[in-house]
Amino acid sequence: MSDPASLPRSSARAQDDNHSVVKAAGLIGAATFSSRLLGFIRDMVLARLFGATAAADAFFVAYRIPNLLRELFAEGSMSAAFVPVFTEYNTLRTKQDAWELASAVFTTLLTILTLVTVVGILAAPGIVWLMAPGFHGEPSKLAMTTYLTRLMFPYLLFISLAALAMGVLNSVRAFAAPALSPVLFNVFIIGCAVFLSPLLAEPILGVAVGVVAGGAAQFAMQLPGLWWRGLLFGWRFDPGHPGVRRIGALLVPSLLGLSVTQVNITVSTILASFFAGGPAYLFYGMRLIQFPLGIFGVALATAILPTLSAQAARGALSDLRATLGFGLRMILFIILPAMLGLILLREPIVHLFFEHGSFTATDTAATATAVLCYAVGLWAFAGVRIIVAAFYSLQDTKTPAVAAMAAVTANLVLSIILMEPLRHAGLALATALAAMLNGGMLVLVLNRRLGGVEWAAVGRSAGRVVVAAVPLVLACVWVAGLEVWTRQGDWIAKTVMLFVGIGLSVTGYLGAHALMRSEELEVLWRLVKGKAASAGEGRAAPGSP
């Protein structure tokens, strides 16, 4: 097999940076897998209890509002604007300077978001009226959505503070607690749905309570990690702090940069309110897309941003180009097979995991169609995360914002065109096409800005992925065509066949890469062997001389 040292790299430091990125992405991916698996169970519970009913539609529209603001203020723009500046302070200045910056940002963010939350609660009727035009003819549904919006708005405050804590910890290469914190979020929602909802006259209110409690738990879980590293936030109201001003300047244009997907999903939710069950179908469909996207795409983007930011702070653009090319290759290696698997196995997956209780066969067919339309853009959703991270590491938030605005405009136009013939599926397809447009524009600009990326290596990687995907496609087509999916019940047989199909697909895909001596597989394999060796040494240490 080829030695990873032979992979195209601009320097030995770039090799070390790439190894650190993969190691961090593996840790984040493993933690995120636990979170997403529990989130999947959460969605199964919600589907069983509420299906695609009016209560579910009201909840998903109401949840979309604070969730959008979370993306705009927290996980999108806040993380992207904060991490490069904080990394610069932590790399080039003292730890005291870094702590003062983090505390000043915390105090400023807490003040602003408290005001936003209060205003949001008071303005909820008007917000819901704008967000759910399809509910205007159903006063009870509109009223329930408004009440749920008010109940869940404090979630914005807690999840934004959790995102800030995540930014600090990720900047110092502490990834475990931030990646695991969503586990508590899902635990609280599941617990409230199962134990609190049955006690309430309107059971869906219990889920809303779980959302807020889960957001608070996500923030609380990260506080010990901050304290341990001497970075626990203090009260420091200093909006004029130079670092705070720089973050603010980066924050304003980045409101759409990383959040374009969520903005487009929100547009889809608004338009889907005209179709009975539309918001629920899109929610469940996107949840399946977010499973591989969160475990691999977002994990890699989260891990790569501090490394890119440190390289940009050092002025090491050759290292930055190498790391970016490496990130794109890993996205192709992991996300494209996940995309094919979701497309080919969409109906068996939705049927097996969601079609229980209030969730009917009709709901399965409609959700599977949404999965298909979203999945064609999965590679773009993940790739945009990596490319935007490169812009933000260079402290350029304006270019992603311009591209995002163009993508949002395209999504709106495409949604209006496609929703008539394809209904909710047209809205999902419009979101995927807009992500492709966004990624294409960003690649063209970034290629000029950096003087090129390792496109030859990326192209070779793409070719290997296409060849290796052949056995994966054959296995998925075989499983999807089995007669067992047409029968009622037989859940054990269906579960076995789905997981057998997934196992054969993964084995065939990785086996093909092994035969081609894939560089990406070699990097991952060396990382796994390194972890196994470390674990073995750790176990042997107590008995060693």
Q: What is the DSSP string of 231-282?
A: --------TT-HHHHHHHHHHTGGGTTTTHHHHHHHHHHHHHTTSTTHHHHH
Whether the CB-CB separation of 403 and 438 falls below 8 Å is answered with yes
pLDDT for residue 191: 92
Whether the CB-CB separation of 86 and 171 falls below 8 Å is answered with yes
Low pLDDT (below 50) residues in the chain? 1-10, 531-545
Q: For residues 187 and 356, what is the distance between their CA atoms, to the nearest angstrom? A: 21
Whether the CB-CB separation of 478 and 501 falls below 8 Å is answered with yes
496 vs 288, 317, 484, 503, CA distance in Å?
19, 49, 11, 10
pLDDT for residue 497: 92
Question: What is the b/e burial string over 113-122, where b = at least 16 CB atoms within 10 angstroms of the residue's CB?
Answer: beebbeebee
Q: For residues 238 and 107, what is the distance between their CA atoms, to the nearest angstrom? A: 8
Helix/strand/coil percent split, the chain, to 5: 85, 0, 15
Name the residue among 497, 478, 495, 506 with its Cα closest to residue 337: 506
pLDDT digits (tens, 9 = 90+) for 269-321: 778 878 877 888 888 888 888 878 877 776 677 677 777 877 887 887 888 88
pLDDT for residue 372: 95
pLDDT for residue 217: 93
